[in-house]
Chain A
Amino acid sequence: MANRVSQGGLAPSSQPTAQHRAELRAFRVCGKRALDPTWAGWVPGWEQVRPLAAFSSERHTLLISFFSVLLPLPVVRRLYEAGIVLLFAVVAVRSWRTRGAGPTVRELAFGFALSQSVELLAVQHGRYDYPDWLVYFPPHPEWVPLGVGLGWAAIVPVVMRMSERILGQAAPAAKLAALDGAMAVGVDLVIDPAVSGEPLRMWTWRGEGMTPYRAWLLGVPVFNFVGWFLLVAACGWQLRVVERRSQGAQRWWRLGLFLACDLIIATVVMRLPW
């Protein structure tokens, strides 16, 4: 059972039965009381403290006692995936309205192309894995979900605009980029431990054939946070340099050149002993 779930395999969920609801009520009442191991005992470390949530591997159901809500785990996963696409759409519309078509398309396209390519490289290098997402891009091999690249593409312009408001639009591109990266890491320190850990496991850091990590923070490899900083900072710096110093079609050529350089650097970074 544990193996099936740790490999990311999710069977169709079923509705919680009256018995499970009763057990959940008991769980809520007893707070930190350990659950019956025959029911939910497979989760590594579950027996320590899970005061607000319980997870039944038997039915792959995430039972959330908080607010008495019961949500099947696959539903939470799909909601998360759909939510990213929705956020991307919102950011795209906002950027289109306030900055116009040209900068919007360049920022979103470059953000998506760079992040999706780097993610593909990382998965190929066995750094992490994205099991059981709905839509992958490219569809074969099923390595990186479309939502991941779209999520990056949505975050980059948001932190870029915030940095420009904080430091001023005329600030040096490198300084703005460093702030972009720091802000992205700031929010990822909450996102990644919650989403990549049990029981959601939207992405996994350990597995057969994957590269082991040495340094961890909050259950997430330090490599991840360094990667977030580098990727967002590089994206922000390169987009600003191109917007400030190039015109017309030259911008696309320069972005293409930056993309190629970034992929070389990313390959080197991924080979380091993290």
Chain B
Amino acid sequence: MVKLVRRVLAAHFEAVFYVYLWANASLLAVMVGRPWLGAIGLVTVLPFVILYRRTARTPR
């Protein structure tokens, strides 16, 4: 498990960091009573992550 996490972080640190920012903000949104704010990221964050994942899989 630790190895997997390390391998993912080594290869995709930026994407993990980006998703973390969203997750952290979503958690804060839940804490302050506006849980729906996190769902905005499904439209504004997730497309970039999907795009990243697709291109990361495709060899250039």
Q: A interface vs B, CB < 8 Å?
A: 49-54, 62, 64, 66, 71, 76, 80, 83, 87, 90-91, 94, 98, 155, 157-159, 161-162, 165-166, 168, 182-183, 185-187, 189-191, 193-195, 197-200, 218
Most B CB atoms within 10 A — which of A62, A157, A161, A218? A161
Q: A198 vs B28: C-alpha distance in the bound complex, in angstroms?
A: 11
Contact A187 B52 (CB under 8 A): no
User: Mind listing 13 A-B residue pairs with CB under 8 Å?
Assistant: A49-B33, A52-B35, A53-B32, A71-B31, A90-B17, A91-B17, A157-B14, A161-B13, A161-B14, A165-B15, A185-B44, A187-B44, A200-B28
Contact A162 B14 (CB under 8 A): yes
Q: Which residues of A contact B24 (CB under 8 A)?
A: 83
Most A CB atoms within 10 A — which of B13, B32, B40, B56? B32
Contact A62 B44 (CB under 8 A): no
Q: CB within 8 Å of A: which of B9-60?
A: 13-15, 17-18, 21-22, 24-26, 28-35, 37-38, 40-41, 44-45, 47-48, 51-52, 55-56, 60
Chain B interface size, as a band, is: 20 to 34
Contact residue among B14, B33, B41 (Cβ-Cβ distance under 8 Å from A190) = B41
Q: Which residues of B contact A162 (CB under 8 A)?
A: 14-15, 18, 48, 52
Q: B interface vs A, CB < 8 Å?
A: 13-15, 17-18, 21-22, 24-26, 28-35, 37-38, 40-41, 44-45, 47-48, 51-52, 55-56, 60
Q: A90 vs B21: C-alpha distance in the bound complex, in angstroms?
A: 13
Contact B56 A194 (CB under 8 A): no
Q: Which residues of B contact A71 (CB under 8 A)?
A: 31
Contact A193 B37 (CB under 8 A): yes
Contact B14 A218 (CB under 8 A): no
Q: CB-nearest residue of chain B relative to A50? A: B33
Contact B25 A187 (CB under 8 A): yes
Assuming the contacts A165-B55, A194-B29, asked whether A189 and B35 have C-beta atoms less than 8 A apart, the reply is no
A92 to chain B, nearest CB (A): 12
Most B CB atoms within 10 A — which of A98, A165, A218? A165
Q: Which residues of B contact A218 (CB under 8 A)?
A: 37, 40
Assuming the contacts A159-B18, A187-B21, asked whether A197 and B32 have C-beta atoms less than 8 A apart, the reply is yes
Q: Which residues of B contact A158 (CB under 8 A)?
A: 14, 17-18
Q: CB-nearest residue of chain B relative to A183? A: B48
Contact residue among A53, A98, A186 (Cβ-Cβ distance under 8 Å from B48) = A186
Assuming the contacts A158-B18, A187-B25, A187-B44, asked whether A64 and B34 have C-beta atoms less than 8 A apart, the reply is no
Contact A165 B33 (CB under 8 A): no
Q: Which residues of B contact A157 (CB under 8 A)?
A: 14
Contact A193 B45 (CB under 8 A): no
